[in-house]
Amino acid sequence: MRGVVILGATGSIGRSTLRVIGRHPHLFRAVALTARRDAAGLDALACELEPEFVVLAEEPDPSFRPRWRGEWRVGREALVVAASTPGGDVVVNGLVGVAGLEPTIAALEAGRRLALANKESLVAGGALVMEAVRRGGGELLPVDSEHGAVHQCLAGRPVEQVRRVVLTASGGPFRTLPAERFPEVGPTDALEHPTWDMGAKITVDSATLANKALEVIEAHHLFGLPYDRIEVVVHPESIVHSMVEFRDGSVLAQMGRPTMEVPILYALAYPDRPAEERPPFDPVAASPLTFERPRREDFPLLGIGVDAGREGGVVPAAFNAANEVAVAAFLEGTLAFPDIAEVVSVSLERLERTPLETLADVRRADREARHLASGEVERRAGSRSA
């Protein structure tokens, strides 16, 4: 039985992981659960699962009275400790944002298997993460469907045999919407994802294609591929999760109905494949499968993000931070949808370029980009009000 630490247990990835564990109680046991601020949700999960301890990253409301009488730990430092706890054979990092980077490094330095759903870890600190893998001997397995698909297609083959990787994108809710109508759309429209059930920030990133830029940067670090060998195609059915083309012209694709629980189980159990009670895949019912080129001019964050990855240093971390600020402003109703890309672009233009050598470099770039993006959001909000 593998002990599992779930960082972000009350979020979308965390709850999907718990459903997987619940179906395989003979294989997995939740030893530690964490949440950012959802004390009540964490309390309910602890009462049900009886982990060794739980972590709340932020201080709970003084009126909160837990029903679970086990060990509670509080603070972001406790997240890092949880990621390297001795009982955790597998650490699922389902945190959102750059806050997931330090727990990622801690788990890998402690030699744990890390099932990584936190995109920002590799985007903001990819070189630091891969160094932690080498230094600690940990195992890094991607949880998201696209990189999980690539991992399965590669099946241990050396990267030298790969001609290119093709990551698929659903295209989001505005795939066919003319760009001139983008100023009309609001948060409710952006959160209507056609195929996936995800958190608000990730869903907006899907609508802007920023999430695909983040995934290209992730793939660069995960699989050691140069950026010119990583491509993106729009695949609205979300059946083909990614493809790998080898140097002999053969193409392998991983397919299946869109659900995060399949890549989560794969990362938890690898190299085993436990049986699941799922309906057989019906290729006829899933047809037709369509593929399109991304509308790069209409969704500029895809190119902006990939260019940030190519530039390297602290620029990818800044791209991620500025995008988080812009998306939050859009969800609050203070920023128009097309302005998300504009805020990110302006922030990166003004960013001081520095190398990425330590966690302090990531934090510094993150703060600077957030400051720049917040200022640009305020300027644009003021102009709209005027």
- Alpha-carbon distance of 266 to 141, in angstroms, equals 9
Q: Which pLDDT value is given to residue 197?
A: 65
The residues, any chain, with a CB within 8 Å of residue 259's CB and separated by 6 or more, are: none
Q: Name the least confident of 91-105, 189-203, 255-269, 323-337.
A: 189-203
Q: Say what percent of the chain tops pLDDT 90.
A: 91
Q: Say what percent of the chain tops pLDDT 70.
A: 98
Q: Which pLDDT value is given to residue 191?
A: 87
Q: Is residue 166 part of a domain?
A: yes
Q: Which pLDDT value is given to residue 382?
A: 75
| Residues 199-249: tens digit of each pLDDT | 788 899 999 999 999 999 999 999 999 999 999 999 999 999 999 999 999
Q: Which pLDDT value is given to residue 196?
A: 63
| Confidence check: pLDDT of 125 > 90 | yes
Q: Is residue 344 part of a domain?
A: yes
User: In CATH, what number is assigned to the domain containing residue 358?
Assistant: 1.10.1740.10
> Are 191 and 249 within one domain?
yes
> Are 294 and 333 within one domain?
no
The CA–CA distances, whole Å, from 333 to 127, 162, 288, 327 equal 35, 44, 37, 10
- Alpha-carbon distance of 297 to 278, in angstroms, equals 40
Phi, psi of 225 (to 5 degrees): -100, 140
Please identify, among 109, 143, 177, the residue that sits at the C-terminal boundary of a domain. Answer: 143
| Residues 1-52: tens digit of each pLDDT | 999 999 999 999 999 999 999 999 999 999 999 999 999 999 999 999 999 9
> Are 285 and 372 within one domain?
no
Residue range of the domain that includes 382: 312-386
- Greater confidence (265 vs 97) lies with 265
> Are 229 and 113 within one domain?
no
Tokens of 176: 């066919």
Please identify, among 265, 300, 335, the residue that sits at the C-terminal boundary of a domain. Answer: 300
User: In CATH, what number is assigned to the domain containing residue 28?
Assistant: 3.40.50.720
Q: Is residue 343 part of a domain?
A: yes
Q: Mean pLDDT, to the nearest integer, of 279-297?
A: 95
Residue 86: cis peptide before it, omega within 30 degrees of 0: no
Please identify, among 107, 126, 143, the residue that sits at the C-terminal boundary of a domain. Answer: 143
Q: Is residue 262 part of a domain?
A: no
Q: Is residue 272 part of a domain?
A: no
> Are 78 and 148 within one domain?
no
Query: Total structural domains in the chain?
Result: 3
> Are 129 and 8 within one domain?
yes
